[in-house]
């Protein structure tokens, strides 16, 4: 199978769309196929991350996202690469873009959340939101098949198989991982760091993980004077950090699913509109605590939520078990199976 991934991501718009595309691309590569990424925003961190997953980045001049020129460029690239499938992830890659690609003769998978990129003309639509329903996609072509729910969550290779050794549930949690995604465009990490620094507990340890498209790592590291708080740059091996953590404070993006998979008790913060259904759905299944939107979160309430979960081992144990039950790691393989069933293999 040869697949062209079409998605954008950087420090301004975030990395969620492109990262879940790359997760699917890595599964294509693992299955013996080839995957390429076509993006309007090719910063070095994105190219490096793609290369680490075995996905090649196509060199192409940027065009207006979702435009007819974008669709035609995507079709040309697919033809040059002999890619039978295009995977499109982005709310601006909407109905007209999809219709033009399908008319151009490629098989099309559209990744979406609550039909924000619809009406849909794609052969497959993937919405990995927990509460995703056919009722969210009333305006779709008769040929369109829906892949809905957490069974289809796209995870990176390290999270797709095997078991994980999370730390035991201590009476009081002291090791906290903060991860606000690949870019953290609203700089939520800095505000959370300030709250953690005010907690009066010498046993507390926190790792503030900065994603590959976050430009603020050096500035935050220089500002923090608390030896209990450690700023780290992008890491290739995420699992040891998750296994280390007693609890996490995380953006409700793609990392949410990795935290569920490993079973890390998590407080979720919503950084963008498309993260709200994720936070609500995961919390409704008892697999995380939803703190709500970042711009409505106050220091006092955040500190209270952190301290309440730190002091409640029963709650942390319940969150861990529910997360493991929600995400089993087989989503990418199920999506590939659906692609092969539809055609273009």
Between CA 88 and CA 93 the distance in angstroms is 7
pLDDT tens per residue, range 85-132: 999 999 899 999 999 999 999 999 999 987 777 799 999 999 998 889
2-159+329-342 and 175-326, same CATH topology? yes
DSSP alpha helix (H) spans, the chain: 16-30, 44-52, 68-81, 95-103, 188-197, 217-223, 239-244, 255-262, 276-284, 299-310, 313-326, 331-342
Q: Which helix (H) or strand (E) holds 87?
A: strand 85-89
For 2-16, 70-84, 273-287, which range has the lowest pLDDT when averaged over its residues?
2-16
Report percent pLDDT > 70 for the chain.
97
Chain centre distance of CA 323: 15
Question: What residue ranges do the domains of the chain occupy?
Answer: 2-159+329-342, 175-326
Which tokens sit at 75? 């079709």
What does the pLDDT read at residue 177?
98
* Homologous superfamily of domain range 175-326: Glycogen Phosphorylase B; (3.40.50.2000)
Select the more confidently predicted residue: 166 or 128.
128
How much is the mean pLDDT over the chain? 92
CATH for the 2-159+329-342 domain, from 3.40.50.1460, 3.40.50.11190, 3.30.499.10, 3.40.47.10: 3.40.50.11190
Q: Which residues are bridge partners to 251 per DSSP?
A: 269
* Mean pLDDT along residues 176-180: 97
- Out of 117-121, 132-136, 245-249, 261-265, which region has the weakest mean confidence (pLDDT)? 117-121
pLDDT for res 166: 65
For the chain, what percent of residues have pLDDT higher than 90?
A: 75
pLDDT of residue 181: 87
pLDDT class for 135, splitting at 50, 70, 90? very high
The mean pLDDT of 4-25, rounded to a whole number, is 85
pLDDT at residue number 186: 92
Position 142 pLDDT exceeds 80: yes
Torsion of CA 327, 330, 335, 337, to 10 degrees: -150
pLDDT at 331 over 80: yes
Tokens of 340: 């092969």
Region of 125 please: left (phi>0), alpha (psi -120 to 50) or beta: beta
């Amino acid at each position: 199978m040869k697949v062209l991934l079409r998605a954008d991501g950087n420090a301004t718009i975030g990395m969620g769309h492109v990262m879940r595309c790359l997760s699917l691309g890595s599964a294509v590569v693992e299955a013996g196929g080839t995957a390429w990424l076509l993006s309007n925003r090719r910063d070095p961190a994105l190219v490096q991350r793609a290369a680490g997953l075995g996905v090649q980045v196509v060199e192409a001049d940027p065009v207006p996202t979702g435009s007819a020129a974008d669709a035609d460029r995507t079709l040309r690239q697919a033809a040059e690469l002999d890619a039978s499938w295009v995977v499109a992830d982005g709310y601006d890659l909407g109905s007209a873009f999809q219709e033009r690609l399908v008319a151009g003769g490629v098989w099309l998978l559209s990744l979406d959340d609550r039909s924000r990129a619809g009406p849909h003309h794609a052969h497959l639509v993937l919405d990995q939101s927990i509460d995703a329903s056919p009722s969210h996609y009333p305006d779709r072509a008769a040929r369109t098949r829906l892949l809905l729910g957490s069974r289809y969550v796209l995870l990176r290779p390290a999270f797709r198989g095997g078991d994980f050794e999370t730390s035991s549930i201590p009476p009081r949690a002291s090791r906290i991982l903060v991860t606000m995604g690949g870019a953290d465009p609203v700089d939520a990490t800095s505000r959370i760091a300030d709250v953690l620094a005010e907690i009066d507990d010498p046993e507390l340890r926190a790792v503030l993980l900065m994603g590959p498209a976050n430009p603020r790592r050096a500035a935050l590291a220089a500002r923090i004077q608390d030896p209990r708080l450690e700023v780290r740059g992008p890491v290739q091996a995420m699992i040891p950090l998750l296994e280390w953590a007693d609890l996490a404070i995380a953006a409700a993006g793609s990392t949410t699913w990795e935290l569920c998979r490993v079973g890390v008790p998590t407080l979720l913060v919503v950084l963008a509109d498309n993260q709200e259904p994720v936070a609500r759905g995961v919390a409704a299944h008892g697999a995380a605590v939803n703190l709500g939107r970042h711009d409505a979160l106050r220091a006092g309430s955040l500190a209270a939520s952190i301290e309440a979960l730190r002091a409640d081992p029963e709650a942390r144990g319940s969150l861990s078990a529910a997360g493991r039950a929600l995400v089993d790691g087989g989503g990418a393989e199920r999506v590939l199976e659906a692609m092969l069933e539809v055609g273009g293999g």
